[in-house]
Structure 1
Amino acid sequence: MVHYRTTITSVGPDVEELLESGMLILFADGAPPELAEVSVQHLVVDGPSDSAPLVGAEIRIGAVSARLTAIGDLAWKKVADIGHVVVNFNGASTAHRPGELSASEIDAAILAAALRPGAEIIIVA
């Protein structure tokens, strides 16, 4: 089941710096300039599904794949309401904040290389 499919439209100039700490910020197209600098902006193609994905669901960014390890209580609502979510690629079993997703670790350089306009981000069960 596809929970979410979106296409990257732009990558802010400060995204790579945040990736060094394992943090990826997604924001729907039209983010305010100060948020656009640190965000990957995107345009939704499919979803979000009515129900949040479960731990273990796959998140694919281009050809890079990880597994969700924790889902904050408010994360999926934020995805649905404003197309915004923070994904921490830290393998944590508990989301640090209610509006965040945690996923298995990915090397920052590999993740940065996958973040290109036109690439898809997909969350599937």
Structure 2
Amino acid sequence: MHYYKTVISEVGPEVKDLLEGGVLILYADGAPPELAEVSVLHRVEQAHAEAPRAGAQLRIGEVNACVTAVGQTAWHKVHEMGHVVINFNGSSAAERPGEICAQPVDTAQLLACIRSGTVIELVDL
């Protein structure tokens, strides 16, 4: 099942620094400038009402990571404003209610995929 499919439209200048700390922030196109600086802006193509669970696959271009936790309000924020914080810390419990946790990934490989046109998907295999 496809939970979510979106396409990167723009990458904020501070995204690289956050990614080096294992954090990726997504915001739908039209985010305020101060949020756009730290975010990957995107256009949603498909969004399922049901939230993904631990074990779902997060795909960003060629990079895959297993989702390890989904915060209580994360999916609501994704639907309402296309916003989510993805923390590549492998935690089995989200520290903040609006975040999705995933397995750690190779930062350099992920950075290479974070560009306009890259597809981001959340799927159940």
Q: Which bracket does the TM-score occupy, shorter chain normalised?
A: over 0.9
What is the root-mean-square deviation of aligned Cα atoms in Å?
0.5
State the AA in 2 paired with 1:90: N
Partner residue, 1:68: 67
Question: Number of matched residues?
Answer: 124
Paired position in structure 2 for 1:117? 116
1:52 Cα deviation after fit: 0.3
SS in structure 2 of the partner of residue 54 of structure 1: coil
Following superposition, the deviation at residue 110 of structure 1 comes to: 1.1
Residue 34 of structure 1 aligns to a residue whose secondary structure is helix
Deviation at 1:107, TM superposition (A): 1.8
SS state of the match for residue 43, structure 1?
A: strand
Question: Deviation per CA, 1:103-124, whole angstroms, max 9, x where unpaired?
Answer: 0001211111110100000000
Q: Partner of 1:46: helix, strand, or coil?
A: strand
Q: Deviations over 1:71-103 (max 9, x none)?
A: 000000000000000000010111110000000
1:36, distance to aligned residue in structure 2 (A): 0.5
The CA distance in 1 between the partners of 2:92 and 2:46, in whole Å, is 27
Gaps of 5+ in 1: none
Unmatched 5+ residue regions in structure 2? none
Match of 2:22 in 1: 22
The letter of the residue matching 2:32 is: P
Moved over 3 A (4+): none
CA distance in 1, matches of 2:52, 2:37: 28
Q: Percent of aligned pairs with the same residue?
A: 56
Once residues 60 and 19 of structure 1 are traced to their aligned partners in structure 2, the CA distance between those partners, rounded to angstroms, is: 15
User: TM-score normalized by structure 2?
Assistant: 0.98
Letter in 2 for 1:88: N
TM-score, normalised relative to structure 1: 0.98
Secondary structure, counterpart of 2:95 in structure 1: coil
Q: What is the rounded CA distance, in whole Å, between the counterparts of 1:58 and 1:41 in structure 2?
A: 20
One-letter amino acid of the structure 1 residue matched with residue 43 of structure 2: L
What letter is aligned with 1:71?
Answer: V
Provide the residue aligned with 2:35 in structure 1.
35
Q: Report the equivalent of 1:106.
A: 105
